[in-house]
Chains A and B, each alone.
Chain A
């Protein structure tokens, strides 16, 4: 069983890494977005392998179902990016590599240093840490303040988006039904005749 899990782990991580490499390798922006979705999906599978069921489902719901769709929408609505020219910043690839490695190190180094690598006993079945109930309790008790701050931040972002996207009512041509349009034209003709 251990061997089987390790084989599955290797397969899934190959999928994730391969897809992630393809994201930066392909010249077509839509294709890289699709590879990114494949990579997100693989991460969900990895969570499932760790028996973090809720986390896996949330990963699929949020990253595959919502964020990737947003990315695709943004690409398709942007002018002239889908033509497949690509690689406009190719000369300074080493700089990009350096920055991304440093960002990766910011996450990885504290984990590697702080981790106690001598695992003595496997955790028992009961001590699930990533179930729906455990995460709900943690959000409502220990991490209530970060949770609320994130909620307020999202609300502000939502309101901001509406403020930016909202057209003034006066600037917008109303869509009329046929009957209204007809009545309007009649009224205008009448006004015209009176003048």
Chain B
């Protein structure tokens, strides 16, 4: 952003603006854009989810306000604004007021490191990926505040469930993302996307074939297992349906949101939908190449960039539009998968949720780390100076090595997956064993 502003102000208009002014203007524009785009995403997502889930449940969904009901979220927003703000008498007023802000603010922070297209990011932190997850864990504090300050048992139970779930599913999410950090050698989100250019034969450049932007990590066995584990953890972090026990409406009304109304409730809602959007976005960025896709690198090679200052700004715009299209299309596909899962699966119990996280997902991610290190070792062992002579063996050799690494890690991951499903299979206990268990256990059924 800063180099574009610099180009416009100093080169094109000749204003000779100082550096701090350029940085200030570019950051202001980025922040304004984020604050304008994020609520719009949320509006569209609520509409999209309601229509999609209605279609799956053989209903129509909202279809009255505007063509096909597209203005329904706006009407909902107006309704939220005009609702009375009710605070329980026994509530802790200050904490009750602060809680929605503490939940919503980290989500807006997380947008800062998301790249929408080539060169379209607010900041490129060296530790961007870690920043994303660190700042998302702050909202757990907000949930606790909401649950406690409401002075309501449902709210407190919901907050406890939400926080327990978030804390325990953060572990598999971070471990499966660590695999990507190992593969790219970087925690910067921009360089993670740039590492996924080229062909789907990851890490091997084939001469004579153009850069199709298809070197996504999902096409390696390591990335595939990482994606499965990460997406499950993302469902739990975003409180999506198989794991929506914190706000299970048939059990605890609306969880931590029970005592909130009007715009405070809307803030929780906003935070939740934006978190879902961001989790889909980070899935796309780490495993599906972000804005990478056919045609991007061709357009970007002609645009104004650090490597090519003499480019044409039109191609910046074109590459940006195409990149944003790829990014949003993939992100909304994964949001659709979330809705799809909501339409297809019943809710888990709390103990099932914890058991699934700790006994199934976490062991798989740990196996995945192991196979990722083997994969990296096999793919890149000529980087070791002692083994440099191997790179002289030429292309067929490196293809063979790539194929061997692919098959070996695939076998390892599939074996781990099968083993984990076998271990975690619900035991086929006979009724006698159940009776024995009950007799040993409590007296209630005797």
Contact = CB atoms under 8 A, between A and B. Distances in A.
B144 A69 contact: yes
A172 interface: yes
B167 interface: yes
Nearest to B352: A175
A57 interface: yes
Given A57-B134, A61-B133, A184 B434 contact: yes
Contact of B138 (A34, A60, A82): A60
24 contacts: A30-B95, A31-B95, A37-B141, A57-B127, A60-B138, A64-B138, A65-B134, A65-B137, A65-B140, A65-B141, A68-B141, A69-B141, A69-B167, A72-B148, A82-B148, A171-B441, A173-B441, A174-B437, A175-B351, A180-B431, A183-B434, A184-B431, A184-B435, A188-B435
A26 to B, nearest CB: 11
Interface extent on A, as a size class?
Answer: 35 or more
Q: Rank and list the top 3 A-B pairs by shortest CB-CB distance, nearest first.
A: A65-B137, A61-B134, A173-B442
A41 B167 CA distance: 18
A173 B140 CA distance: 31
A132 B431 CA distance: 55
Given A34-B145, A61-B130, A184-B435, A66 B440 contact: no
Interface in A41-65: 41, 53-54, 57-58, 60-61, 64-65
A180 B127 CA distance: 50
Contacts, number: 93
Interface string A17-39: 00000000000001100100100
A7 B435 CA distance: 71
Contacts of A132: 126-127, 130, 187
Contact of A76 (B130, B148, B444, B446): B148
B68 interface: no
A157 to B, nearest CB: 16
Contacts of A53: 125-127
Contact of A187 (B95, B160, B167, B431): B431
B446 to A, nearest CB: 8
A73 interface: yes
B375 to A, nearest CB: 20
Nearest to A44: B134
B41 interface: no
Interface in B230-250: none
B134 A60 contact: yes
Nearest to B159: A76
B445 interface: yes
Nearest to A77: B160
Contact of B441 (A131, A170, A187): A170
B137 A184 contact: no
B438 A174 contact: yes
B47 interface: no
A176 interface: yes
A172 B144 CA distance: 29
Interface residues of B, number: 36
Interface in A152-179: 170-176
Contacts of B349: 175
B266 to A, nearest CB: 23
Contacts of B163: 69, 72-73
A60 B440 CA distance: 46
A60 B167 contact: no
A66 B167 contact: yes
Interface string B191-222: 00000000000000000000000000000000
B265 interface: no
Contacts of A188: 435, 445-446
A132 B181 CA distance: 12
A128 B140 CA distance: 32
B120 interface: no
Interface in A110-154: 131-132
Contact of B130 (A37, A57, A170, A187): A57
B341 to A, nearest CB: 22
Contact of A172 (B126, B170, B441): B441
Nearest to B443: A173
Contacts of B134: 57-58, 60-61, 65
Contacts of A173: 438, 441-442, 444
B131 A57 contact: yes
B168 to A, nearest CB: 11
A57 to B, nearest CB: 5
B137 A30 contact: no
B141 A72 contact: yes
B156 interface: yes
Given A61-B134, A72-B141, A30 B148 contact: yes
